[in-house]
Amino acid sequence: MALFLVGSLVLKAPWLFTEKRFHPRVSRFGRLAAPVTGAAFGFGWTPCIGPVLTSVLAIAATQGQAARGALLMAAYSIGLGIPFLVSGLAFGRLSAAFRWVKRHSTGITLASSATLGVFGVLLALNRMVWLTSQFRNALAAIGLGRLIRIG
């Protein structure tokens, strides 16, 4: 109950929902408009993608085999790109799903913030190794232990 109250207070804090934007005229870049816009989009996503990409790059660099590292990077790129491609190609058919997400955005935000809070506590208590071993045991118990060795 306390978590719900805290989550409700956080959701009602309008300063958490502010953003700063600038609207450049990318048309002035001519043929470079698309790459410049893509670079700006990538720069904005750096905090989200950065830690995962860094981990994948570190694993790929320490594999000792260029082909295996390239395979890891290809899998990462495909995993990152496919949801965007599918959403774009199926936008019309996914409009009902997008409406559902919009209707339930408060609940989704509460669940996401609670999950992030739990992970924050686990990180602060240095219990991520414990969580990883629990996930590993659960995957092995349901017959998906081979997923542990991917990569």
Q: For 80-129, what is each residue's pLDDT tens digit?
A: 889 888 888 888 888 888 899 999 999 999 999 999 999 899 989 999 88
| Amino acid of residue 25 | R
Chain-wide mean pLDDT for the chain?
A: 82
d(CA 77, CA 71): 10
Say yes or no to pLDDT of 151 above 60: no
Which of 1-15, 18-32, 121-135 has the least mean pLDDT? 1-15
- Residues 76, 58 contacting (CB under 8 angstroms): no
Torsion sign across C-alpha atoms 81, 35, 28, 48? positive
State the angle between helix axes of 2-11 and 105-124 in degrees (0 to 180), rounded to the nearest 10. 120
Please give the model's pTM, rounded to 2 decimal places.
0.45
State the average pLDDT over residues 60-75: 84
Whether 50 shows a pLDDT value over 60: the answer reads yes
User: Both tokens of residue 103?
Assistant: 């209707």
- Specify the higher pLDDT residue, 102 or 37: 102
More confidently predicted of 7 and 71: 71
Residue 68 in this model has a pLDDT that exceeds 60 = yes
63 exposed, middle or buried (CB, 10 Å; 0-12, 13-18, 19+)?
A: middle
